[in-house]
Amino acid sequence: LVGLLCLDDVLSCDHYPTEDEDMVAQHRKQFRGGNAANSSVILAQLIRSKGLSSSFPVSLLANIAKGGGSEFLFNDLARHGVDSKHCPVLEGFHTPTSFIVRNTDSGSRTIVHYKDLPELSAASFAAVPLESFKWVHIEGRPNCDDIIAMLQRARAHADSHDGLPRVSVEIEKTHPRSLDFIPYGDVLLFSKDFVRSQGHDNARSFLTATAQKARKGAVLVCAWGDKGASALDASGAFIHVDASSPPKVVDTLGAGDTFNASIIMALSQGLGVEAALQYACKVAGAKCGVIGMDTVFETVTELGISC
């Protein structure tokens, strides 16, 4: 998985602070963050839940700042069985950090992000041997020229090697050039924020309008929070699945990353698109019922969620 690795500094509060309010947090904890990093850890846990860790190892490619939290991040990835040997370590920068206020009453999270670390370069991606991987997932970041170069390399390799690795792209950021990522993916994962930025108020109209830009046979997916998730399968058929909610929502941070990892897991195991959506909604819903993303393995095992 290719994208961002950062540090999440989470303050749990009984309400969201008003401007200029002086309040005390109930709890503080640091987690690993970043869309691609979170999805890699979730994917590793889902693979472990199927007993397939030795057959489907998970690797992350992301820039890491030397010092200032890097040891914590490396150890966290290793603890979950995510390989980080390809990650470039850069000197003279700070570890990207998301400062997060989690409302314990509603489960919502508000994020302020700081980052001076450069985005991952296409040259770093070019150094990774793609023949070692069955699936490559690329998080669409703002450095669009680099992202397109990565996608072009992955696509060219897949087209000349019997479709492997399969290529998925997360299109979450509302940068206008994110549309340029669409032609390269076998699986396209859109956020509702991106869909709305394109002038659509529902997934179906956006997916239908966007399908003509995608490669033939691509699967287009859009998660819409508590409204569930929708997709166009390889034949162009529209599919919608309702959301799966836990008894109480306690933490929505990382739910989208969990959904994306679950889609990759399900499709890589040969499930159809509708079954993949159902599985991803169940796993993402279960994640919202627990704090953090470190216990997804235990949660899906306890609830009997499998693909």
pTM for the full predicted model:
0.94
> What pLDDT score was predicted for residue 68?
81
E strands in the chain: 6-13, 27-33, 58-59, 64-65, 82-83, 89-90, 97-103, 109-114, 135-139, 166-171, 187-190, 219-223, 229-232, 238-241
Angle value at C-alpha 133, between 128 and 135, nearest 5 degrees: 115
Q: How far is CA 160 from CA 1, 131, 189, 265, 277, in A?
A: 21, 11, 24, 24, 29
Q: Kindly report, residue by residue over 175-209, the tens digit of the pLDDT.
A: 889 999 999 999 999 999 999 999 999 999 999 99
> What pLDDT score was predicted for residue 181?
98
* Separation of alpha carbons 171 and 179, rounded Å: 8
> What pLDDT score was predicted for residue 67?
86
Only one residue has tokens 């992350």, namely: 60
Name the pLDDT band for 106 (thresholds 50, 70, 90): confident
Q: Kindly report, residue by residue over 19-50, the tens digit of the pLDDT.
A: 999 999 999 999 999 999 999 999 999 999 98
Phi, psi of 109 (to 5 degrees): -135, 140
> What percentage of residues in the chain have a pLDDT greater than 70?
100
Residue 40, helix vs strand vs coil: helix
